């Protein structure tokens, strides 16, 4: 494993990173004994993404520690080898380190518009079996790269991680473009990015606290997001994923009806900006499951989670 860092004495000024949010009793309890693990998809010694993880863990709140895992010794996943020899030591070590952490920060480079082989291979090892340490784990995704700031690889990684229903921070999405200009050697030299990292850590701690204080519901199926436009649907989906629910998306009533007839859908989030006729069609097709209309896509996760809990009698 890589270097471990923590902060048991420093305090920031009000308004800086965790300086406000940590004052709630829930977050104070969470932060009293919280360990984060960082997983970088780059094996390069001078990796900007590994450096971004170090920067994220460099100034953690009191009681929170962070550790950057190494993927260098993890072999390519081969089911035949696992059957014959079991999981290799390096993969078991990563699984146990992930299991013992309360949250994960993934730092993903972008190779050929997607995640790296190292990142996908690590997720393949971590996702194995009914005892996967990824299941419903609070997490955040960051990345440093070229012009898009790893937007495509972050999107793909969200899709990959949805298999294990991770509770992924919806906002901020830390996407560092023109990475070579934001670092001096392997040290982050951009105060704006550093501020985004502080906010990301603060939000991740909130998600961890919610996961500790809220009973997990055994949801059968996905949440269907019916959006008026792709950007609003994406924001709603990210909010829902933060609560550990898988999502499907439709941008037209006919597509929503098709999904509802063919897939297992537990609930529907309906964008209030969708036309009234289309909304009525979707509501009619989803008459047997919870449907919530949302004006603010960022509120979609909380609203549908509340509706699903009420429906299942656990709210």
CATH value at residue 62 = 3.40.50.360
Is residue 132 domain-shared with residue 19, that is, in the same domain?
Answer: yes
Is residue 199 domain-shared with residue 228, that is, in the same domain?
Answer: no
* Overall average pLDDT of the 50-68 stretch: 97
Is residue 204 domain-shared with residue 254, that is, in the same domain?
Answer: no
* Overall average pLDDT of the 135-162 stretch: 96
Is residue 264 domain-shared with residue 285, that is, in the same domain?
Answer: yes
**Residue 142 pLDDT greater than 60, yes or no:** yes
Rounded mean pLDDT of the chain?
91
Domain tally, the chain: 2
Decide if 124 contacts 77 (C-beta within 8 A): yes
* Overall average pLDDT of the 234-259 stretch: 97
- The pLDDT-based confidence of 7 (bands split at 50, 70, 90) is very low
Taking the C-alpha atoms of residue 230 and residue 306, their distance in angstroms, rounded to an integer, is 24
Is residue 293 domain-shared with residue 193, that is, in the same domain?
Answer: no
Q: Which of 161, 188, 213 is the last residue before a domain boundary? A: 213
Phi-psi region of 15 (alpha: psi -120 to 50; beta: other; left: phi over 0): left
Q: Which of 152, 186, 213 is the last residue before a domain boundary? A: 213
Taking the C-alpha atoms of residue 139 and residue 135, their distance in angstroms, rounded to an integer, is 11
Give me the percent of the chain exceeding a pLDDT of 70.
90
83's CB contacts (< 8 A; 6+ apart) are none
- The pLDDT-based confidence of 30 (bands split at 50, 70, 90) is low
What is the pLDDT at residue 31?
64
For 285, the domain range is 222-312
* CATH number, domain containing residue 256: 3.40.50.2300
Is residue 46 domain-shared with residue 188, that is, in the same domain?
Answer: yes
Q: Which of 194, 213, 232 is the last residue before a domain boundary? A: 213
Neighbours of 311 (CB within 10 A): 14
- The region of weakest confidence among 5-14, 36-45, 73-82 is 5-14
Decide if 106 contacts 157 (C-beta within 8 A): yes
Decide if 218 contacts 85 (C-beta within 8 A): no
What is the pLDDT at residue 19?
43
**Residue 11 pLDDT greater than 90, yes or no:** no
Taking the C-alpha atoms of residue 298 and residue 282, their distance in angstroms, rounded to an integer, is 21
* Overall average pLDDT of the 97-110 stretch: 98
Neighbours of 209 (CB within 10 A): 22
Place of tokens 């004495």: 9
In the numeric block, which tokens belong to residue 58?
């460099």
What is the pLDDT at residue 25?
53
Peptide bond into 172 cis (omega under 30): yes
């Amino acid at each position: 494993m890589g270097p471990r860092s923590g902060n048991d004495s420093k305090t920031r000024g009000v308004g800086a990173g965790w300086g406000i949010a940590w004052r709630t009793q829930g977050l104070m309890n969470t932060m009293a004994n919280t360990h984060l693990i960082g997983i970088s998809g780059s094996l390069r010694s001078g990796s900007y993404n590994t450096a971004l993880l170090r920067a994220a863990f460099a100034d953690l709140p009191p009681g929170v520690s962070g550790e950057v895992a190494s993927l260098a010794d993890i072999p390519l996943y081969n089911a035949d080898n696992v059957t014959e020899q079991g999981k290799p030591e390096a993969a078991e070590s990563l699984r146990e380190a992930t299991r013992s952490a309360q949250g994960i920060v993934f730092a993903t480079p972008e190779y050929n518009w997607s995640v790296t082989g190292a990142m996908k291979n690590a997720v393949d090892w971590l996702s194995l079996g009914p005892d996967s340490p990824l299941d419903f784990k609070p997490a955040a995704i960051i990345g440093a790269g070229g012009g898009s700031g790893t937007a495509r690889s972050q999107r793909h990684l969200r899709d990959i991680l949805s298999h294990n229903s991770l509770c992924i921070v919806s906002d901020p999405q830390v996407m560092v473009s023109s990475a070579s200009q934001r670092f001096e050697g392997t040290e982050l030299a951009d105060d704006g990015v550093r501020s985004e990292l502080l906010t990301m850590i603060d939000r991740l701690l909130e998600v961890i606290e919610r996961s500790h204080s809220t009973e997990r519901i055994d949801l059968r199926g996905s949440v269907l997001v019916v959006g008026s436009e792709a950007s609003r649907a994406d924001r709603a989906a990210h909010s829902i994923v933060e609560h550990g629910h898988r999502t499907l998306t439709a941008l037209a009533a006919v597509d929503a009806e098709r999904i509802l007839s063919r897939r297992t859908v537990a609930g529907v989030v309906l964008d209030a900006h969708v036309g009234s006729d289309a909304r009525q069609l979707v509501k009619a097709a989803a008459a047997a499951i919870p449907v919530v209309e949302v004006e603010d896509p960022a509120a979609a996760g909380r609203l549908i989670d509340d509706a699903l809990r009420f429906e299942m009698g656990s709210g």
